[in-house]
Amino acid sequence: MPYCIYLRKSRADSEAEMRGEGETLARHEKALTAFAKQSGLDVAAIYKEIISGESIAARPQMQRLLSEVSEGMWDGVIVMDVDRLARGNSIDQGIISQTFLYAGTKIITPTKTYDPTNEFDEEYFEFGLFMSRREYKTINRRLQRGRVASVKEGKYVSNKAPYGYERVKIQGDKGFTLRPVPEQAETVKSIFEWYTNGITQADGTKKPIGTSLIARELNKRKVSTHTGNVWTQQTIRDMLINPVYVGKIRWNWRPAKKKMTGGAIVTERPRSTEFLLYDGMHPPIISEETFRAAALKMNNNKSRPVRGDKKTQNPLAGLVCCTVCGRKLQRRPNDKTPDLLMCPAPTCDNHASYLYLVEEAVFETIKKWSLGHELPDLTGNSRLVTDTTDAETELSSIFSAESKLRSQLNKAYEAFETGIYDTAVFKQRSTALNQQLKEIEFRKQELKASARRAQRNKRIISEFIPKAQRIAGAYYNISDPHSRNELLKTIVHHIDYTKATRGHGHESDFSITVFPLIPVE
């Protein structure tokens, strides 16, 4: 898709022209055309707003541009700066931002590209330059509602097509749908076939294989994935339960959740079971029958949940995860030895341990927590920092530095537009200022994160550690495994378990990582 240039005078431009500083739009046109040429952007149209109105209603070229953007006609719109698109009142800003966001059309300025399809990109948040955080949030909510409406119509609203399909523009309507990519669709069919019906063996018979073997087989055959990475069991698993392959659209499957990890905010998309399903506009690759067969098999392979009427005999029930295959480890009584804790997958390489030994190791970890040790303070400090005075002081000085840089940046723009700076000088100047702003923003995020950590640490000290102390004191006085299990589940999120060796003399060679159930922020 091509690009277009949008030109508009600001009020300051009109005033400058009255002082005889020459024609703004002609100057901008020259600058942006040269810029597009240098950047290899194919410009197919130039829109000149003769009237310097701020509202959309007063800008006929903007109306036309917006309607074309919403039809997905443009890959990107080149402007002098984002202010040229919208300043005016906030409703107009909202309409314009929403249109660009929804169509996934880029806004390109000589110094920066704003790509709305990259939702979690830092640059994208700077797209919020011409709206406040709050407005941005409102628009995003509205946009989400728009997306739900599209999903209900069977359109595909995600930016990335699932493996097996490509995203295509719907003819004569807004939005996108999916079209099978023949070669990939064949792989999808193979995956379902191997899982439900079987893969052909050397003797000509068919034998069904599990998700990890499917991943291995595809890697062996050098079938490339979407990302160029290797196939993993998780990818296969996700594909086998993805209703997109039977022509459905799934919504709210993994709602994004912000989470703190390693001192940074990461957006995670935990699997959700409460998703909505709609008939898609796209053709299926897999039959309903095959899909159901795969789902049935997948459910049967899941470890059976503990039945309500029979209390568990395993104090670690539901808590210990196999690091090799991801399954939950189970208790296995044994005539000749103490109870075992083992991975339920028969072919898994992770070896079993005596249940009581693993339980003791978990208990030791809780004892350490009760002393305030081995708690993952996200900065990696052993001390749980709770004081935020320094961070607050630094934050307030950062805010003033930031506004100073912004006004310098504005001046640079003015100098460029009035011809005091040529492109080279402007670029150098604005790049330097933007770089400083970026560094400041980064530091700001760091400080905010450390303030959140401090809050969280306060809760760890006032709630989590006392709880660990109570449990450490009481644990082995409780004889009932079920009650022990209930108690552990109030403080342990999950436990990763690995054991590479087996046999006599290797009983304690397992390693575990116990993840505390502590407030995220």
Tell me the three state secondary structure of residue 16. Answer: helix
Nearest in space to 165 (alpha carbons), one of 276, 251, 244, 223: 244
Mask 288-327, x = binds Zn ion (CB under 5 A)? ----------------------------------x-xx--
Q: SS3 for 307-320, per residue?
A: CCCCCCCCCCCCCE
CB 347, min distance to Zn ion, A: 9
Up-side HSE of residue 520: CA atoms within 13 Å toward CB?
A: 10
* Tokens at 456, concatenated: 């969280």
Chain center to CA of 437: 25
CB 473, min distance to Zn ion, A: 34
CB 323, min distance to Zn ion, A: 8
* Tokens at 218, concatenated: 């595809």
The nearer residue to Zn ion, 43 or 345, going by C-beta atoms, is: 345
The nearer residue to Zn ion, 6 or 510, going by C-beta atoms, is: 510
* Tokens at 491, concatenated: 């403080």
The nearer residue to Zn ion, 342 or 514, going by C-beta atoms, is: 342
The nearer residue to Zn ion, 97 or 350, going by C-beta atoms, is: 350
Tell which positions 51-70 bind Zn ion, by CB under 5 A.
Answer: none
CB 237, min distance to Zn ion, A: 14
Name 320's Cβ contacts closer than 8 Å, sequence gap at least 6. Answer: 328, 329, 341, 358, 494, 495, 496, 497, 512
Q: Per rule CB under 5 A, is residue 196 in the interface with Zn ion?
A: no
CB 120, min distance to Zn ion, A: 32
CB 342, min distance to Zn ion, A: 9
The arrangement of strands across the sheet holding 492-498 comes to: 320-322, 492-498, 511-516
Tell me the three state secondary structure of residue 338. Answer: coil
How does DSSP assign 206-264, residue by residue? Answer: EE---HHHHHHHHHHTT---SSSS---HHHHHHHHT-GGGGTEEEESSS--EEEEETTE
Cβ-contact 504, 351 below 8 angstroms: no
Tell which positions 223-282 bind Zn ion, by CB under 5 A.
Answer: none
CB 345, min distance to Zn ion, A: 5
The nearer residue to Zn ion, 58 or 325, going by C-beta atoms, is: 325
Distance CA 205, CA 207 (A): 7
The nearer residue to Zn ion, 324 or 341, going by C-beta atoms, is: 324
The nearer residue to Zn ion, 225 or 233, going by C-beta atoms, is: 233
CB 353, min distance to Zn ion, A: 13
The nearer residue to Zn ion, 339 or 441, going by C-beta atoms, is: 339
The nearer residue to Zn ion, 131 or 322, going by C-beta atoms, is: 322
Phi/psi at 334 (5° precision): -140, 135
CB 343, min distance to Zn ion, A: 3
**CB burial of residue 424 (10 Å; 0-12, 13-18, 19+):** exposed
Tell which positions 432-491 bind Zn ion, by CB under 5 A.
Answer: none
Structure-derived torsion over alpha carbons of residues 88, 90, 95, 98, reported in degrees to the nearest 10: 120
Cβ-contact 515, 496 below 8 angstroms: yes
Structure-derived torsion over alpha carbons of residues 233, 234, 240, 241, reported in degrees to the nearest 10: 160
Distance CA 458, CA 101 (A): 39
CB 326, min distance to Zn ion, A: 7
The nearer residue to Zn ion, 16 or 324, going by C-beta atoms, is: 324
CB 352, min distance to Zn ion, A: 10
Distance CA 121, CA 267 (A): 11
Per the listing, tokens 């400080």 go with 447
The nearer residue to Zn ion, 188 or 352, going by C-beta atoms, is: 352
The nearer residue to Zn ion, 10 or 212, going by C-beta atoms, is: 212
Tell which positions 329-388 bind Zn ion, by CB under 5 A.
Answer: 343, 345, 348, 350
CB 335, min distance to Zn ion, A: 23
Strand partners, 495: 320, 514
Question: Which amino acid would we find at residue 289?
Answer: E
Strand partners, 340: 332, 354
Q: Total residues at the site for Zn ion (CB under 5 A)?
A: 7
Chain center to CA of 38: 33
CB 498, min distance to Zn ion, A: 10
The nearer residue to Zn ion, 345 or 361, going by C-beta atoms, is: 345
Distance CA 278, CA 246 (A): 11
Cβ-contact 472, 412 below 8 angstroms: no
| Binding footprint of Zn ion on the chain (CB under 5 A) | 322, 324-325, 343, 345, 348, 350
